[in-house]
Amino acid sequence: MATKTRTGVSALALAAVLTSAAAAEGNTVKIGYVTGLSGACSSISEDGLNGTKLAVEELNAKGGILGRQIELIVRDSQTKPDEGGKQARELVASEGVDVLTGVCSSSVLLAVEAVAAEAGVPHYAIIGSTQKANIEAFQPNFWQIQPNATMEAFAAAAYVAKKAEWKRIQPMGYDYEWGHTSVEAFTEHLKELRPDIEITDPIFVKLGDNNMGPYIAPALSTKPDAIYAAIFGGGLVNLIKQGQGFGLFERSNLVTLTTVDALQSMGSTMPKTGVYGIARAPFFALPPSEELPGFIESYRAAYNEYPTDWAVNGYDGIMIYAAAVEAAGSTGMDALMPKIYGGTFDGLRGAGLTVRAFDGQMSAPAYVGAIAFGSEFPFPTLTDVDIVPGETLMWSEDKIQALRGAAN
């Protein structure tokens, strides 16, 4: 599959502190991939890497980028900001990478972005989704190909607001930057949409904690009509499985980040009712295209499973980068970034996706629906999916400038 781009041209100059001109003129395009192959992100980072590998293999089979083969250099951040920054710095200084990507945890994302900004190296996000990378910490070498945390929280709030019978909501989230940001944005937006709804004090879950009982019991004690949980990966699977022992799905509902990996992990143990999911790129809900069936088939052949949201974004991320480099005729920052910010991209998630220059945010959609079982796949999926256009979830430039001013 080839991602298409249509671009305009504008001038953009950045100081390159550690950029390797030799890499730009070498025989390969080097992609520095820093991700949490161990630690709290390990359950989803491998999927993003698999999607990236598939894209690299396809591109290399067709001649690579600008006639140069792509070299994917992978480093484990251990889901730790200090380690992620260390690995990114080594990739830039020793390997001379042309671009950085792959990061899972939002806190690690900010650490890697600080290195990328200092080095003058392009950096894009495919999993980590903090809006801080687009707002307070934004640098004009960065772009985010999925909805950021605030956008997803807004999509969840809009979905919850439509449930007129829900009168009390209990927020819950991981006790780190992404969880706090998501809970805050969800609460703020839901209050705007439904002033009548009661939102209880949030409960925060220690990252990596496998015992969800100490969090489920107090959440249910507030007698909520629904729990909004900014939880992912193995923690989400534990929350759902252990929640059944507390009668969570008889006593309430759950609205959470329900990506394909979680659906596959839960399988037949997923509750039949009471779970509502927010997803980033569920393959079964993506718009029909000529490329999508081939991607799914190739991914299943390579990895013996259906592609997760993380795999789709890993694949799309490389294809978007490749298309922009081809349009620019160079991997260099000065030529590349006007093509990223000025481009319109078509990929697995649909056509006409754009990246805003003032915050590096792609107009990627969010997907929200109810969990249901069917006969087509051996695991539950989302049904009655609302595909929420990214443009409707993004803050305006005036709002973002105000937030930057307040932060400074």
> What DSSP string describes 96-147?
--SEEE---SHHHHHHHHHHHHHHT--EEESS---GGGTTTT--TTEEESS-
Taking the CA atoms of 30, 34, 35 and 39 in sequence, report the sign of the dihedral they define: positive
CATH of domain 150-279+366-407: 3.40.50.2300
44 token code pair:
């989803």
* pLDDT at residue 264 tops 50: yes
Compute the distance between CA of residue 238 and CA of residue 144 in angstroms, rounded to an integer.
Answer: 29
26 token code pair:
């070498």
* pLDDT at residue 252 tops 60: yes
Between 7 and 408, the higher pLDDT residue: 408
Class in CATH terms, 4-147+286-354: alpha beta
Q: How far is CA 173 from CA 80, 86, 219, in A?
A: 19, 28, 11
State the average pLDDT over residues 49-76.
98
DSSP 285: G
122-157: pLDDT as tens digits:
999 999 999 999 999 999 999 999 999 999 999 999
pTM of the model: 0.88
Q: What's the pLDDT score for residue 20?
A: 36
329-353: pLDDT as tens digits:
999 999 999 999 989 999 999 999 9
Comma-separated ranges of CATH 3.40.50.2300 domains in the chain: 4-147+286-354, 150-279+366-407
Q: Helix or strand or coil: residue 63?
A: coil
Q: By 3-state DSSP, what share of the chain in percent is helix, strand and coil, each rounded to 5?
A: 45, 20, 35
* pLDDT at residue 1 tops 50: no
Q: How far is CA 359 from CA 46, 133, 134, 168, in A?
A: 28, 8, 5, 34
93-118: pLDDT as tens digits:
999 999 999 999 889 999 999 999 99
148-197: pLDDT as tens digits:
999 999 999 999 999 999 999 999 999 988 899 999 999 999 999 999 99
Compute the distance between CA of residue 170 and CA of residue 190 in angstroms, rounded to an integer.
Answer: 12
* pLDDT at residue 12 tops 50: no
